Structure 1
Amino acid sequence: MSAQGRGPTGRELRVLPALAAGPVDMPFPILSWSEDFTHDLDWNEHSHPYHELLWNERGASKAVVGARVWTVTPTLGLWMPAGTLHSGSAAAGTRCRASLFGFDAVAPISPTPVAVEITPLLRLLLERLADAGLPARSRELTEAMVLDVLTPSPHELLLKMPTSELLRPIADAVMTDPADRRGLAEWASLLGVSARTISRAFNAETGTSFARWVAAVRAQHAVELLTRGWPVEVVAERVGYRSASAFGAAFRRTTGLTPGAFRAP
């Protein structure tokens, strides 16, 4: 059961419990859930006794585990192991999907959250399992096929957030406006430290450089706009690139995919 309400920003807030991993009574080894969201929505930090495969039929959403933020889309899903504390958010107009895997019914594909490519075959199989009237033998075969093709993806839309007081102003500014073009020298002058100090802090807290972290923020924001049908040229400008070609090259370096992979159908 979940409690619902409105946060101070007017976004819908759903409060779910934190449950330990373990077997629960499920009619099938793999259950399906879907919902269309008419309001911007946030979930509190919670966990489930079963494994989840999160993906979207339409739009983009976010899942947060600690300081790591994944963007979930119609082509890139996220495996969430049972018992993993996570929070999330979704924008109005998103159609979220989830497949729930019984803890004692399937072996997890990963003990930690990991991206999963939602291929046309996997999508077709998951949609078939959403049919409550599917004959038992057909369901059994479809479940076996899902488990056979369900594998971690080499691509993911993952961002690790810095948490120190030093980097928080930078992170807040770039998350609010991905087109912010201030570089290390400008931030160093503004914060009264050396550019080397900021660079070292980013590497220590996020495992990547300042420039690559900014590129990851821009890629995640771009995906949200692309899945809503925004033209690539407009998205490029909105996330801080001077041309669609420069945006496309940076996006491919960051994600391993082209912007077209996330365009709304």
Structure 2
Amino acid sequence: MAPYLIQPDAPTTESRRLPLYDAGSVEVPFGILGMSEVMDRDTFWEEHSHPTHELLWNDRGASWAMVGQRIWTITPLTGLWVPAGVRHSGWAPSGTWHRAAQFDLRMLRLSEEPVAVDVAPLLRLLLDRLQGEGLSGSSRGLTERMIADVMAPAEHELTLRIPDRPLLAPIVDAVRADPADATTLEQWAGRLGVSTRTVTRAFLASTGLGFGRWVAAARMHHAIALIAHDVETEEVAERVGFGSSSAFITAFRRVTGTTPGRFRSS
């Protein structure tokens, strides 16, 4: 299981097609409009864009959004802000409790680019309140202003950029097939018939990361997917190539800012 192993044509996957809108191309009669859905099957959203800004987060499980070559992991702790007009696709596995909110362009401009958002308890409560019934006009306006005031970028971004260099495709495919693959940089260079410096430069140019850091990031994306599906921490550590649970927990905390246990219970 991996976020960049999305198979929209798989028989069990529902594929949804949405329009492409330019920012502000549709006038909306709301400040913030929320929605909630528990996915009853693996679901893929084809590339689309909204006339409004969008905040994505989950009440349960992990999902993914792809903007260009960059994949963002969305969890109950870390959401994603997608500015109006930005093209993106998405994938949520069965069982995910998926949440989204559309923001009128006059409400908030958190960032000109996609950015991870800290889904703090207060923000979650305010978003839940906005979806409640019987909220008066003045109370709704106050809630929307409070949401705009407390929303902030997350300290940790759960992102992975997929290399677009043909040279690196065999490495991506290998990690895709087995995140515990232990092939070293030197071994890959030998297989590909190039120098280690060439592989390193290709990774840096395509992803901003060297070989080792990119593999570590890809492994952590696999790990988050497994944890979201209630795979035990010891098994997750083994399946993504860590020699011990303690080493995996340390790496997980460094990347996500939390422990697998807290992530699992969120």
Q: TM bucket by the smaller chain?
A: over 0.9
Question: TM (normalized to structure 1)?
Answer: 0.93
Question: Which residue of structure 2 lines up, in the alignment, with residue 202 of structure 1?
Answer: 203
- The Cα shift of 1:234 comes to 1.5
Deviations 1:118-142 (A, max 9, x none): 1111111101111142111211111
Residue in 2 aligned with 1:3? none
Offset of residue 195 of structure 1: 1.7
Which residue of the partner structure matches residue 37 of structure 2? 35
Deviation at 1:258, TM superposition (A): 2.6
Displacement of 1:176: 2.8
Counterpart residue number, 1:186: 187
Task: For 1:68, give the aligned amino acid.
Answer: R
Aligned twin of 2:64: 62
Q: How does 1:1-265 map to 2 (within 5 A)?
A: 7-10=8-11, 11-22=13-24, 24-103=26-105, 105-265=106-266
Q: Structure 1: how far apart are the matches of 2:91 and 2:182?
A: 26
State the secondary structure of the residue aligned to 1:57: strand
Residues 23 and 147 (structure 1), Cα distance of their counterparts in 2 relative to 1, 3 Å cut: farther
* One-letter amino acid of the counterpart of residue 81, structure 1: P
| Structure 1 gap segments, 5+ residues each | 1-5
TM-score by length of 2: 0.92
Post-superposition offset of 1:177: 1.9
Contact kept? 1:229, 1:264, Cα under 8 Å? no
- Amino acid of the structure 1 residue aligned with 2:60: R
SS at match of 2:99: strand
Equivalents in 1 of 2:143, 2:78: separation in Å? 21
> Is residue 44–residue 87 contact of structure 1 (8 Å, CA) maintained in 2?
yes
Amino acid at match of 1:140: G
Root-mean-square deviation over aligned CA pairs:
1.6
- Whether the 8 Å contact between 1:226 and 1:232 is mirrored in structure 2 is yes
Contact 2:64/2:71 (8 A) holds in 1: yes
Q: CA deviation at 1:211?
A: 0.8
Q: Contact between 2:156 and 2:255, CA under 8 Å: does it hold in 1?
A: no
Deviation digits for residues 66-90 of structure 1 (CA, Å, limit 9, x no counterpart): 1110000011000000000101111
Alpha carbons 1:54, 1:97 under 8 Å: kept: yes
CA drift at 1:190: 1.7
Q: Is the 8 A contact 2:16 2:45 kept in 1?
A: yes
Return the alpha-carbon distance in structure 2 between the equivalents of residues 7 and 75 of structure 1. Answer: 26
Q: Which range moved further: 105-114 or 77-86?
A: 105-114
Question: Percent identity among equivalent residues?
Answer: 54
Q: Within 1, Cα distance between the matches of 2:83 and 2:246?
A: 38
Task: Note the alpha carbon deviations across 1:30-53, whole angstroms, 9 max, x for none.
Answer: 001111111111111110000000
Q: Give, in angstroms, the shift of residue 8 of structure 1.
A: 3.2
- How far residue 23 of structure 1 moved from its aligned partner, in angstroms, is 5.6
For the residue of structure 1 that corresponds to 2:95, the secondary structure is coil
Q: Number of residues paired by the alignment?
A: 259
